[in-house]
Amino acid sequence: MKNLISELLLKLAQKEEESKELVAQVEALEIVVTALLRQMAEQDQQALISSVEGALDSVRPDSQVPVQDAEMLHQYVKKLLRHPRT
């Protein structure tokens, strides 16, 4: 029983470490996208935003992807492009 608990705790610690790494990757990407957008002229920003949003709108999620997950992706992309980090 102790071995099982030890293994579960080890797996939980590994998952937590993977989660931290993913959060760091996402935050790094947000910083990069924000910096790139700030360096662009307003007209170029709007063209890029329209292009990305248009591409997202034209893609139909796979039937195995829950609609809620696809909507969440759309919302995060919109937030990132329209309201970047300060």
Q: How confident is the model at residue 86, as a pLDDT?
A: 63
Answer yes or no: is 13 within a domain: no
pTM (2 d.p.): 0.69
Answer yes or no: is 62 within a domain: yes
Answer yes or no: is 16 within a domain: no
Answer yes or no: is 74 within a domain: yes
* Phi then psi dihedrals of residue 53, to 5 deg: -65, -40
* The total number of structural domains that make up the chain: 1
Q: How confident is the model at residue 85, as a pLDDT?
A: 65
Answer yes or no: is 27 within a domain: yes
Is residue 7 pLDDT above 80, yes or no?
Answer: yes
Answer yes or no: is 14 within a domain: no
Domain of 46, in residue numbers:
22-82
Instruction: Find the mean pLDDT for residues 42-53.
Output: 92
The pair of three-digit structure tokens given for residue 67, joined into one six-digit string: 């609609």
Q: How confident is the model at residue 15, as a pLDDT?
A: 93
Is residue 83 pLDDT above 90, yes or no?
Answer: no
Please check whether residue 78 is in contact with residue 53, taking contact to mean a CB–CB distance below 8 angstroms. Answer: yes
Non-local (6+) Cβ contacts of 82 within 8 A are: 49
Answer yes or no: is 17 within a domain: no
Instruction: Find the mean pLDDT for residues 41-69.
Output: 86
The Cβ of residue 53 has, within 10 Å, a number of other Cβ atoms equal to 15
